[in-house]
Structures are given as structure tokens and as C-alpha cells.
Amino acid sequence: MKSLGFVFKIVVVGDGAVGKTSLIKQWTEGSFRTDYIMTIGSNFAVKSLVIDDKPVKLQIWDLAGQPHFSDVRVLFYKGAMGAMYVYDVSRVDSYDSVLNWDRELTNICGQIPKVLLANKVDLNDQRKVSSEMGSVLAAKLGDAPYFETSAKSGVGVNEAFEKIAQLVYELAKKRQPA
Ligand code: G3D
Ligand code: MG
């Protein structure tokens, strides 16, 4: 089969202000293109990387203020091959929301690879959600890989994006005829 490379749609999901846009910016800095899709009210960024010596393009969709369970939300999720769930370690409510986000996404996408990001770990003295709580949630998400990140310092950010790319790649490879 001719190798055209892969394009993967990845959605970044979580409550407002947890750092989704900042994480995407941090990861794609210097090597990205963003497009705004007006009908969906979302930005997406594209970044190329190489996995297994193969060119892979990640199309990262950034959830903005779309209302829950609306038609545009469905369009946002549709075709996603991987998901990054983000919460803010200084806000327990954003941690509690993750399972709701997972329910909403799973309704539309079924089971797809996911990773969990505990963001803003640079805010040490304001931290309310422990690493243990993070691990418990990751287990509930079907043993999703768990990362502690800071979009501010950059800690953990590459690792999280590379992990979701790897997971989606492995699944796509399995599904593609040799
Ligand atoms: P969202 O896209 O999930 O809504 P944003 O979140 O990326 O817009 O971030 C919301 C606010 O949190 C921003 O602050 C941003 O700078 C800040 N932020 C994001 N990630 C981190 C982080 O890892 N550490 C710290 N300390 N702050 C972070 P402002 O003040 O610009 O609204
Ligand atoms: Mg945003």
C-alpha cells in the first residue's frame, strides 16, 4: 500500500480555563498552522511528527465555549481518533467534570485512545488535586496514561502529546491492511 502518511484528529477537552489552548500553543509553538472553523466555533492546529519512521500529522481540535450537547459539539467530536482530557490541579470542579466530558465524548466517538492531563502543576501552593486523585481518575478512564503538565513551564507537555499520537498511531496501524 502506498504510504500517504497518517492524519489524526485529536480533541482536547475539559472545563473552561483549565489550559487547553495554552497547552496546544505550548506544544505547537513555531511549527503550527491554526484554522478557525466558524460553524463549529473551534480552532485547530496541525503539527507533523515522525512515529516509527512514518510521517504523522496531528490535527489538534481545541474545544472552546460550545454549549453542551449541541449540534456543533457533535461536529467537534465527530471523527476524533484520540482525546486529551485536561483539568486544573487548583480546581477540584474541573477534575470532577472529566467523567462528564468522557461520557459526552464516548457517546459520539465510542472508545478511543485517551490521555489525562493534570495541568498547572507549577501552581504548587494552590494545588488541590493530588497525584493520587489523578491516578484514580486515570484508572476510571480505562487506564488512560496520566501526565502532570504545565503549559506555563512546559513540563510534561511533549510527553502527553507524543503519547496520544503513539496510541492513535498504533491503533490505526492495526486497522490498516499491510
Ligand atoms: P482554556 O483554553 O482551557 O479555556 P486557557 O484555558 O489556555 O485559555 O488558559 C486559561 C488561563 O490559565 C490563562 O490565564 C492561562 O495563561 C492560564 N494557564 C494555562 N495553563 C497554565 C499553567 O500550566 N500554569 C499556569 N500557572 N497558568 C496556566 P489568563 O490569565 O491569560 O486568563
Ligand atoms: Mg481555550
Atom of ligand 1 nearest to the CA of 14: 3
- 6-175 homologous superfamily: P-loop containing nucleotide triphosphate hydrolases (3.40.50.300)
Among 60-64, 134-138, 141-145, 158-162, the least confident range: 60-64
Starting from the edge strand earliest in sequence, which strands make up the sheet with 42-51, in order? 33-37, 42-51, 54-62, 6-13, 82-88, 114-119, 146-148
pLDDT band at 86, cuts 50/70/90? very high
Position 176 scores a pLDDT of 79
Model pLDDT for residues 91-147, shown as the tens digit of each residue: 999 999 999 999 999 999 999 999 999 999 999 999 999 999 999 999 999 999 999
Spatial CA neighbour of 99 closest among 66, 135, 72, 138: 138
DSSP letter at 19? S
pLDDT-derived band at 14, boundaries 50, 70, 90: very high
Average confidence score pLDDT of the chain? 90
Which pLDDT band holds residue 1 (cuts at 50, 70, 90)?
very low
Is this model's pTM higher than 0.85 or not? yes
CA of 173 to the centre of ligand 2 (A): 31
118 lines ligand 1 (CB under 6 A): no
CA-closest residue to ligand 1 atom 29: 17
DSSP 60-128: EEE--SPPTT-HHHHHHHTT--EEEEEEETT-HHHHHTHHHHHHHHHHHH-S--EEEEEE-TT-GGG--
pLDDT average, residue stretch 154-167? 96
Report whether pLDDT(43) > 60. yes
Q: Which of the four pLDDT bands, split at 50, 70 and 90, describes residue 34?
A: low
| pLDDT at residue 71 in the model | 79
pLDDT of residue 147: 98
117 touches 51 (CB < 8 A)? no
